[in-house]
Every structure is written in C-alpha cells, then in structure tokens.
Structure 1
Amino acid sequence: MSVKINKSLCNGCGNSKESRCMRVCPGNLIYKNKDNQAEIRDKRECWDCAACVKECPRQAIEMYLPVEIGGRGSTLQAQDLGDKIVWKLNKLDGSVEEFNIQNKLWFNSNL
C-alpha cells in the first residue's frame, strides 16, 4: 500500500513547525516541503499504518489499497469526528462506501 497527499487540500496544518501527520508517522517519513505542505520522503518505506490518514484534519491523505486485498486502485480516507472515525472507501468506478468506527480513545475517556 502507499499514501498520497493531495496538495490542493493540504495546508501543512498552518504555520506550526510540525504538521499533525508528521507527529504521528512512526517511520518519520513525512516532512513539510518549501510550500509548507506535507510530503512523504519515500512511499516504499511507508509502514501502511494509516496513522497519517486518520490524523489529517483536511482529509488530504489517502491510502491506496493494493490488488492483493481487492483494492485495484481504490483509496481510503478518514475523518476523525471525535466519537468516531468515518472511513471512506473511494472506488475506481466513482462510488464511495462509508464505514463508521467508534473511536476507542473517546469511548475509554468517558468511562
């Protein structure tokens, strides 16, 4: 799998030194380019953990799903709504499926 950062959506999380995706990437693969946008150093080094996909507040990061798991070029995007994460599966035919996953961090903090 690999991630793609949509430059038309990414604002680098404003003027902060580190974007949110930079902070959560366990492989230290994301940096800010000269245009203050997030960029991945080497897609081949990506761990496919999807941390950056979930963390991006602008849904500017997508993860490609490989053919081996039926992706055939489909992509995943995530939106963290606090109590849940909405995953969007963007299929090649233009259709979109949504999956709502309860955010355990929110859930556990309310016990």
Structure 2
Amino acid sequence: MTVKVNQNLCNGCNGIAESRCEAVCPGNLMTRDAEQLAYIRSSKDCWDCMACVKACPQQALQTKLPFQLAGYGSKLVPKSEKKQIHWTLTHPDGKVETFTIPTESI
C-alpha cells in the first residue's frame, strides 16, 4: 500500500511552515513541492501507518489498497472528527462501503 495525493484537493495546509501530513509522518516521507502541494518522497519506504491520511483536513490523501484486500483500484479515504473517523472504501466497480471507528474510549 502507499499514499496517493489528490493534487486538486490538497491546499498545502494553506502554506503553514509544516503541513499536517509532514508533521505526523513517522518516516519523514511527506513533503511539499514548489506550489506547496503534498507528495510522498518515496512510496516504497512508506510504512502504511496512514497517519498522514487521517491528519489531512482536505481529504486529499488516500490509501491505495492492494488487490488482495479490496480489488485493484480500490481506495480508502478517512474523514476525521473529534471522537471518530469515518472511513469510505470505494471498490473498483463503484460500490461504496463506510465504516465509523471511535477514537476515544467510552
């Protein structure tokens, strides 16, 4: 798996010194280009922790799932809220599944 950046959604965290994806990546793999848009330095070195994907307020980052897990071309996109994360899994055939995971213990 690796992270894919949707350049149409990324706003570079509005030019702050360190974008959210850069700040949370444990491998120091996320960075920004000259236009301040995020990209991954080396996808082969990605740990697949999805910290950057969950931290992106624009939902510009997504995880491309291997075909063994969900079919070639599937994607997984989170939307973080205060106490939960909503995950949207889109299959290659267009089928969409959603999952909500609490982020705080009850």
Instruction: Give 1:70 shift.
Output: 3.3
Provide the TM-score with structure 1 as the length reference.
0.90
- Name the structure 2 match of 1:73: 73
Structure 2 equivalent of residue 98 of structure 1: 98
| Equivalent residue letter for 1:20 | R
1:46 maps to what in 2? Answer: 46
Q: Among the aligned pairs, what percent are the same residue?
A: 46
Q: Which residue is 1:23 aligned to?
A: 23
In the TM superposition, residue 87 of structure 1 has moved relative to its aligned partner by 0.4
**1:16-70 residue CA offsets vs partner (Å, 9 max, x unmatched):** 0111010000000011100111111011111000111111001100101112323
Give secondary structure in 2 for the equivalent of 1:100: strand
Unaligned 5+ residue runs, structure 1? Answer: none
Query: Given the alignment of the two structures, is residue 10 of structure 1 paired with residue 19 of structure 2, yes or no?
Result: no
What SS does the aligned partner of 2:22 have?
helix
Listed as ranges, the gaps of 5+ residues in structure 2 are none
SS of the aligned residue for 2:54 comes to helix
Flag as ranges the 4+ runs of structure 1 deviating above 6 A.
none
Structure 2 distance, partners of 1:59, 1:89, is: 13
Match in the other structure for 2:59: 59
Q: Count residues with an aligned counterpart.
A: 106
Aligned residues: CA RMSD: 1.2
**Would you say the 8 A contact 1:84–1:103 is kept in 2?**
yes
Measure the CA separation in 1 of the matches of 2:91 and 2:70. Answer: 11
